[in-house]
Structure 1
């Protein structure tokens, strides 16, 4: 019969040991209970930011009807269709229905008709106009002049229409203008509709979703070519559209639903994606559904899955380290109570008596700590994950660790000495170590061959770091005593005893077994640091590929002298012209005979100018030798091509001569170099041809740049955009034939902005949290493991130091001896952990899906000089911490009493 009082007294008597086990248990249960909440909280924040940053059209679910005729009973067609706004939402899957934030109904003519009138004729404008009715538009707009169309209109009167100020200004009309809508051709109903501009309005908020329909209510659609009309949309009433439908004009109806940025929770992300797929499959026959909401959801789901996979590796290392610390704490507790268990057996207790006693004590001390840790975890923000099985398993293991250690470690009789010269490992231990090495190698091979399902807790994935750390620790345990024994022999020939005694004891230290825990903790921290550095450098490479300079000014066609104007801006050191021609067909000859090998993106760069620019900007870009060809050469241009294009050219026998079109002119080129990627080539393109612009043969009309790379400091983006716009205008107005409309403004993209976008938003915050927490936690746990490792051999070291102090060892020599003895153990543990942490990314990165955080760029882990400095610093801190712990422990034990009380006291 177990006495609760007796158990409580023993727990109180050994309160420090049980307090340590309880604190470790609390940390474990807090991590298991609370960290999923924090992860989900950060993921939801990232999802909200990701969706908020999407274009509005990406968050819209839009149902569109086929051309519809009026209802047979003569009722209002638009009112009948508007009533379906509720029905369509009610038919949505629950997860999508609950996420709807706003919704709009639109009725409009199926196709715009030709608009005529004296105001249009005064400007010689060719215009098509469509009529649209949208409930709530009068609240979203502000009248500039006139009034809104209303239901007072009667058939036979001119149809009232309201136009936006931008559309009215472009069409040269105002409130009161008389217009006529006519059929654009002979096909279809010949309905002529007189119009009157009832009012002109401006939007209260141009970003309001009510204006998001196509064509836009707020802007004029430019004509796609010569003799093509401008297209605009006017606002009218549902009664007008009903009358047009009765006259035979087909109408189209749109029901649009805007998803809230916070309408989808991270726990419901997969369900939402599946629901959208279900909606796409179950669209009614007379409707079409257009939605892009699943695209950002899938992007974020992929990023979160990759982040959670990385977090699983980090969590596995942290929890395994904590488990090892609990085992070490239990071992120290059992070692201190060794005499108690021997006496218990001597009095007739069973072999399991000590384990049963430890089980009762462990349950009394650890279960309340586990409950407290779980309660603290529930206070953290974020939705809870399904962690109950892990929590129960952790509590059971925490309760059992002390009795199991007691059963395995408590002696059955007299205690043998542990200060022998050599401790020869048993055959059983050697077998276990060899099996561990083989198991670690097999796990790595299986993981690389099988791959991963990102986002799931894969037992193989979480076991690989632990197995590798344990295997590396075993190898270190077997390897590091040998050089120390050699050093000890050399030290024996020198004067003084500190170096000899310190290296001799370090070479046969029996307390080296806890090295596994130190290696695992340091490996977790190093893994986080190495992968984080690899992601950062990969983002730098992706940003450099997009903008191989400090800024990129790109537009349609810019005057060649734009580069000189850019170089005159403050802070600009250099500018280089670039020309891009997407999707050009490769030809066999100058005539243009198709090579039938597919299209390729053509990029023309001034090689020497690009080389000077990248050197000035300090970016890591190597300009191929082929692009530095001098001007005035003869024969085909040397070109850098992608492997896919090179293979097709080789198969067609065109490696030495092929033609490609650049701004309407064909240039002959040959394959001079191959490159899997090249800066400025559009992301994801594996088919490109890069030509040296300085070597292009002179033609009647030389190619015109479509952009300029800029190198400089403190660049003014507005000034770059202004000079780029001026360059476009000069090109358009400087030729024999000038354009009538102002070209679209240039885009200015800086390297810093590109790099910032790669690292901001989405699941990047979640990943950064994991790396910071893993590195910091691994470092702290590593130092704690070093303390446990030191304490494991503290009793034996205390006895030796007590004897040596009585033989005249000075305090300074004592500190030196302590430093020499602990330095190899600490150094080997930290170095082994760092090596494991550096090797883990090389093994795991290909299967972790980290390209989701680098804009699709491959994450390549490489040597980081900063890691060496960090490891040296960590080793120094760990050694200082170890010496401090040893000194504190010796002061607490009072070395003289250790010698007087006996060897095992």
Structure 2
């Protein structure tokens, strides 16, 4: 066969080969481009995810215990400062490439600080001294100067303090103090006290600068944990002063801290990076090695595993639909050339020669098309993926599709298929039964065996395809029966449109096209349903954390703060909440310990909270025990299963006591819940009490927060009112002398929902769902077009005959609607049902809880899916009629009748 002869045949059947070439380009473009797009989004998500982590999570720190000067004149500061570049050079290459900033610090243990300025405020303070090279560039002096490195020995140690530290400790430039040596600093005992003088007060130029984020921080005072406990603070001293203290018996601790940036990391290297961090921990050479980077990296890996699994399912559906379209296109091409192949066989040609001729044509057209598609796919942004083997296999299968279809095509003169009722052959029945059996076995194995997340499991990716194929086979075998009944009823009515249309629809044999349509629509429906389920689950997670439009959390707020909040613009309701952790269960009001674990106690005003939840529209359901009006006897409580088990084992589920703000309340177990709104997801021991049922006491319960419902809330105003409520409570309680409380925290439902749905691999997951839904819809419409084209010649003959008998153009459109409508409706509805049921089977093994804050994805009926199915069915039917009309115009009905008669 010459190339010219092959090219002439390709030109003669240019439309069919152009269709096959377009499909080959699409398949190879997807194989080459989609992995690049996914990798690019994964890289972007990883960098965004790491950049949003707290600073401590991105720091790799080496540290030492207290080291004492050997007395040989060596400067410990100079010796250990030289280790900053050396330790970085010893890091594994991928870790070293991420280092963005580095800091060296030396400090003493905290000793007791005394002086007249502290005594004036009756302050108990422990102070440590820290040397931070580069602090003069990171801080700005507001008073005085920085410690002088050339200060002579024997003079007081010069110290600079952060502005907040100086204010809280009543210190200023010129304050003279005495610092006692730590009692456990040296084996020989505590060193002699040293004199301290404050020479400077500074403020940070940028509080986010990593130099300030060593623990404990230089910028803040650590509040005393209880009564008679000291404040803890740090002062900045020069390295030379610390060297002199070391020579006098003071121990020094050294830290080398490296801040990991996000710009140099690649998603493909995360596993290697985690392993290198673990090896660095084992090779710390006696230093204290601290890092928290592996925790967010492992969290990211969990999301990567889930995304990889989900994308494998979506890709399997899309590629299977494309493969079906290639088969349909090849079959359509062979059907159009059936006369040619029959003539070749009649002239002595063999099946092999027919296949060789088709293979030559296929290679001439499809190999260049596949190469162009692969090149276009590799133009997509993102790191390259190892998809070349898949591309080679796909190209080989596409090229072989046409010769295989030519081998399988029957030869001889075709009969009038529209005049007989075709019965399926034994081979077809066997294949369809095998598909049904395989689908059932695959589902059973998947449910029993489970799945390893992150692994592209052949069983997992084959289950949706097999289920769609099985559903299509059942639909093909079942839907003609009601149509035949409809045909009998239509035969008794006037007019021929309903009768002819239902009769032709009942005789239609379109198993392969229907399978492709069902598979494509099922992929789109699966993506839509899972997307809705993930969104609902994220709403529920945000609702559990903030079961209102906003939550104000603090220490203790004056009860009238709720009324102040209600007067703010946009606020409709405000209700108090009280939460205390670390409480003990007791057997009586005196506090006899029940000897169980600590519990977290939450008080909510049930009726008020229920109304606020309804007003906010948050997806939260409150137990009836908390909403019921107050009644005599123990308070009805909702407890966690762990607390319920402890109470039942102790026989106290009907009456027990729990402390709340130094008051004890009797309660009984009225219900159990795995989680409860406002509590952390990892809280496994809690007791929730109804505020409206609390007995009257001399000291009432004081809110620790408020829930707010409203529109267009001003977060700054909510924070202002919350802070005023905290200060008002301190004043009313006579706690004026205490340090002002920390600012309240204001969380809005919208912000929490955004945090749950953004970052890391969420963009990749959303891209996969959108791409799957769009691709499934488009491929479904294309498959319906193939359904129309497959029967276009037969319908053209019928139309020619009926038009000759007087059928009008409007009646022909009605006949086409009756014939194609049931097929399109069955295909779309079957695909939608399969796609809606697939999440029930696959969601438990997809690991999507990594994208919902750990909450399982809830798959429920989605009303919008029904509207989508109806719209898709209407579009598909309109598309089918448009394809038929264009095809009829192209073929010219008179020539179809004259040339297509094969009697």
Q: Could you state the TM-score of these two structures normalised by the residue count of structure 1?
A: 0.97
In the alignment, does 2:802 pair up with 1:804? Answer: yes
Alignment-derived partner of residue 479 in structure 1: 478
Distance in 2 (CA, whole Å) between partners of 1:176 and 1:708 is 45
Query: Deviation per CA, 1:837-886, whole angstroms, max 9, x where unpaired?
Result: 10111110111111111111111111111110111000000000000000
Alignment-derived partner of residue 302 in structure 1: 302
Deviation of 1:23 (Å): 1.0
Indicate the SS of the match to 1:254.
strand
Deviation of 1:420 (Å): 4.0
Q: Indicate conservation of the 8 Å contact 1:527/1:838, yes or no.
A: yes
Alignment-derived partner of residue 785 in structure 1: 783
Indicate the SS of the match to 1:101.
strand
Indicate the SS of the match to 2:97.
helix
Distance in 2 (CA, whole Å) between partners of 1:531 and 1:190 is 67
In the alignment, does 2:390 pair up with 1:371? Answer: no
Decide which moves more: 493-502 or 689-698. 689-698
In the alignment, does 2:328 pair up with 1:328? Answer: yes
Alignment-derived partner of residue 44 in structure 1: 43
In the alignment, does 2:31 pair up with 1:32? Answer: yes
Distance in 1 (CA, whole Å) between partners of 2:723 and 2:248 is 48
Q: Indicate conservation of the 8 Å contact 1:418/1:510, yes or no.
A: no
Distance in 2 (CA, whole Å) between partners of 1:255 and 1:798 is 82
| Residues 1:738 and 1:141: Cα distance change in structure 2 (over 3 Å) | closer
Indicate the SS of the match to 1:253.
strand
How many residues in Structure 1 have an aligned counterpart in Structure 2?
A: 900
Distance in 1 (CA, whole Å) between partners of 2:249 and 2:448 is 65
In the alignment, does 2:178 pair up with 1:173? Answer: no
- Correspondence 1:870-885 to 2 at 5 A: 870-885=868-883
In the alignment, does 2:282 pair up with 1:284? Answer: no
Distance in 2 (CA, whole Å) between partners of 1:673 and 1:162 is 57
Query: Deviation per CA, 1:244-264, whole angstroms, max 9, x where unpaired?
Result: 111111110001010002232
Distance in 1 (CA, whole Å) between partners of 2:479 and 2:535 is 35
Indicate the SS of the match to 2:101.
strand
Indicate the SS of the match to 2:595.
strand
Q: Indicate conservation of the 8 Å contact 2:71/2:247, yes or no.
A: no
Query: Deviation per CA, 1:439-461, whole angstroms, max 9, x where unpaired?
Result: 11111222222222222222111
Decide which moves more: 856-865 or 121-130. 121-130
Distance in 2 (CA, whole Å) between partners of 1:379 and 1:587 is 69
Indicate the SS of the match to 2:465.
helix
Alignment-derived partner of residue 61 in structure 1: 60
Q: Indicate conservation of the 8 Å contact 2:656/2:667, yes or no.
A: yes
Deviation of 1:83 (Å): 1.4
Decide which moves more: 137-146 or 53-62. 137-146
Query: Deviation per CA, 1:126-163, whole angstroms, max 9, x where unpaired?
Result: 32221111221111112223322233123212222222
Distance in 1 (CA, whole Å) between partners of 2:367 and 2:290 is 55
Decide which moves more: 488-497 or 294-303. 294-303
| Residues 1:445 and 1:186: Cα distance change in structure 2 (over 3 Å) | closer
Decide which moves more: 190-199 or 74-83. 190-199
Alignment-derived partner of residue 245 in structure 2: 244
- Correspondence 1:367-446 to 2 at 5 A: 367-409=367-409, 411-446=410-445
| Residues 1:731 and 1:345: Cα distance change in structure 2 (over 3 Å) | same
Alignment-derived partner of residue 457 in structure 1: 456
Alignment-derived partner of residue 551 in structure 1: 550
Deviation of 1:323 (Å): 0.6
| Residues 1:558 and 1:739: Cα distance change in structure 2 (over 3 Å) | farther
Q: Indicate conservation of the 8 Å contact 2:675/2:681, yes or no.
A: no
Distance in 1 (CA, whole Å) between partners of 2:104 and 2:618 is 51
Indicate the SS of the match to 1:710.
strand
Alignment-derived partner of residue 828 in structure 1: 826
Alignment-derived partner of residue 599 in structure 1: 598
Decide which moves more: 287-296 or 120-129. 120-129
Indicate the SS of the match to 1:290.
strand
Residue from 816, 836, 854 that aligns with 1:856:
854
Indicate the SS of the match to 1:261.
coil
Extract unaligned runs of 5+ from structure 2: none
Deviation of 1:74 (Å): 2.2
- Correspondence 1:606-645 to 2 at 5 A: 606-631=605-630, 633-645=631-643
Q: Indicate conservation of the 8 Å contact 1:264/1:272, yes or no.
A: no
Deviation of 1:333 (Å): 0.3
Distance in 2 (CA, whole Å) between partners of 1:726 and 1:575 is 16
Distance in 2 (CA, whole Å) between partners of 1:143 and 1:548 is 45
Distance in 1 (CA, whole Å) between partners of 2:789 and 2:902 is 15
Deviation of 1:273 (Å): 1.6
Deviation of 1:33 (Å): 0.8
Deviation of 1:281 (Å): 2.8
Deviation of 1:184 (Å): 5.5
Indicate the SS of the match to 2:351.
coil
Deviation of 1:270 (Å): 1.4
Distance in 1 (CA, whole Å) between partners of 2:116 and 2:825 is 91
Q: Indicate conservation of the 8 Å contact 2:553/2:705, yes or no.
A: yes
Deviation of 1:467 (Å): 0.6
Distance in 2 (CA, whole Å) between partners of 1:685 and 1:116 is 42
Alignment-derived partner of residue 205 in structure 1: 206
Distance in 2 (CA, whole Å) between partners of 1:230 and 1:281 is 36
| Residues 1:646 and 1:249: Cα distance change in structure 2 (over 3 Å) | same
Alignment-derived partner of residue 350 in structure 1: 350
Q: Indicate conservation of the 8 Å contact 2:605/2:692, yes or no.
A: yes
Residue from 146, 149, 172 that aligns with 2:147:
149
- Correspondence 1:484-503 to 2 at 5 A: 484-503=483-502
Q: Indicate conservation of the 8 Å contact 1:732/1:739, yes or no.
A: no
Q: Indicate conservation of the 8 Å contact 2:328/2:512, yes or no.
A: no
Indicate the SS of the match to 1:595.
coil
Alignment-derived partner of residue 76 in structure 1: 75
Deviation of 1:737 (Å): 5.0
Indicate the SS of the match to 1:639.
strand
Q: Indicate conservation of the 8 Å contact 2:48/2:759, yes or no.
A: yes
Q: Indicate conservation of the 8 Å contact 1:69/1:245, yes or no.
A: yes
Indicate the SS of the match to 1:74.
coil
Decide which moves more: 440-449 or 221-230. 221-230
Distance in 1 (CA, whole Å) between partners of 2:121 and 2:394 is 80
Q: Indicate conservation of the 8 Å contact 2:784/2:824, yes or no.
A: yes
Decide which moves more: 399-408 or 597-606. 597-606
Decide which moves more: 213-222 or 38-47. 213-222
Indicate the SS of the match to 2:195.
strand
Alignment-derived partner of residue 700 in structure 2: 702
Q: Indicate conservation of the 8 Å contact 1:510/1:793, yes or no.
A: no
Alignment-derived partner of residue 359 in structure 2: 359
Query: Deviation per CA, 1:620-670, whole angstroms, max 9, x where unpaired?
Result: 333322113433x33211111223322332232222112211112221111
Distance in 1 (CA, whole Å) between partners of 2:560 and 2:60 is 47
Q: Indicate conservation of the 8 Å contact 2:160/2:199, yes or no.
A: yes
Indicate the SS of the match to 1:514.
helix
Deviation of 1:677 (Å): 2.6
Q: Indicate conservation of the 8 Å contact 1:511/1:793, yes or no.
A: no
Query: Deviation per CA, 1:453-501, whole angstroms, max 9, x where unpaired?
Result: 2222221111111111100000000010000000000000000000000
Alignment-derived partner of residue 889 in structure 1: 887
Deviation of 1:526 (Å): 0.6
| Residues 1:330 and 1:546: Cα distance change in structure 2 (over 3 Å) | same
Decide which moves more: 878-887 or 707-716. 707-716
Distance in 1 (CA, whole Å) between partners of 2:184 and 2:305 is 57
Q: Indicate conservation of the 8 Å contact 1:613/1:710, yes or no.
A: yes
Decide which moves more: 811-820 or 650-659. 650-659
Alignment-derived partner of residue 182 in structure 1: 180
Alignment-derived partner of residue 18 in structure 2: 19
Deviation of 1:416 (Å): 3.9
Deviation of 1:195 (Å): 2.5
Indicate the SS of the match to 2:27.
helix
Alignment-derived partner of residue 261 in structure 1: 262
RMSD: 1.7
Decide which moves more: 840-849 or 299-308. 299-308
Distance in 2 (CA, whole Å) between partners of 1:383 and 1:751 is 36
Q: Indicate conservation of the 8 Å contact 2:574/2:709, yes or no.
A: yes
Q: Indicate conservation of the 8 Å contact 1:511/1:790, yes or no.
A: no
Deviation of 1:587 (Å): 2.1
Deviation of 1:4 (Å): 1.8
| Residues 1:830 and 1:181: Cα distance change in structure 2 (over 3 Å) | same
